[in-house]
Amino acid sequence: MGTPINQLFDLTGRIALVTGGSRGLGLQIAEALGDAGARLMLTARKADELESACAQLQARGIDARWVAADASTPEGVARIVDETCERLGDIDILINNAGATWGAPAEDHPLEAWDKVMDLNVRAVFLISQAVGKRCMIPRGAGRIVNVASIAGLSGNGPAMTTLAYNTSKGAVINFTRALAGEWGRHGITVNALAPGFFPSRMTRGTLARLGEDALAEKAPLRRLGDDDDLKGAAVLFASAAGKHITGQILAVDGGVSAVHGG
């Protein structure tokens, strides 16, 4: 007989580190992991937002802590990993969610904006995955890494979307996921990625206002944008024993947009 399904999705006793966990998709994923029983460390750069997020999670009965640091620097990553291990224990689950975007025509895209997007969306994912893998996951022969990519990394844009750096960075995250899964599978570590479509958030607020929520929803076969629950099931699947035989995969959570518009 197999394992009961509720046990496969149970994260009781697991330690999860969520980057960019203070709001938006990161907070949604943190909520899902916490509801499934994980103990959480949230990290981002703004202490006030982290404190507020932890208060929300704690009100649901979730064990949540926070550490403010810049995950795109080796010093910031060392602080995040050290504090998580010291305060909670070895990290079982790493959610690489922290990200940034920038809108500008390719011919006028500022170099400093390109570097900002690449540093947070790609460099930080590498740095923190390397640190957590080396310290916590490889020595124990187990771990779950979930990268938050985007359907923007699956295809190009039309002229209405001028987000060259963002698309490029998310394409990099997608192949980073596949390459790391291939390399670290022998250590019992799974590496997968979520590729969300449009979800209302601070990051997407400007695009939604410019292009219209209804117009963007119409592009999806399900005729809707993502909501506060739509990433939860997929995140827990990748983070739990239910997903132990899944690695190197990219799951689009986009209402079907990538299925009919490429990607």
Active site residues: 166
Consecutive H or E run containing 93? strand 93-96
CB of 122 closer than 8 Å to CB of 165: no
Structure tokens at 136: 């916590």
Give the distance from CA 145 to its chain's centroid: 9
Cα–Cα distance, 145 to 225 (Å, whole number): 26
Burial of 190 (0-12, 13-18, 19+ CB in 10 A): buried
What is the rounded (10 degree) CA torsion for 146, 151, 155, 160? -140
Cα–Cα distance, 199 to 191 (Å, whole number): 23
Burial of 192 (0-12, 13-18, 19+ CB in 10 A): buried
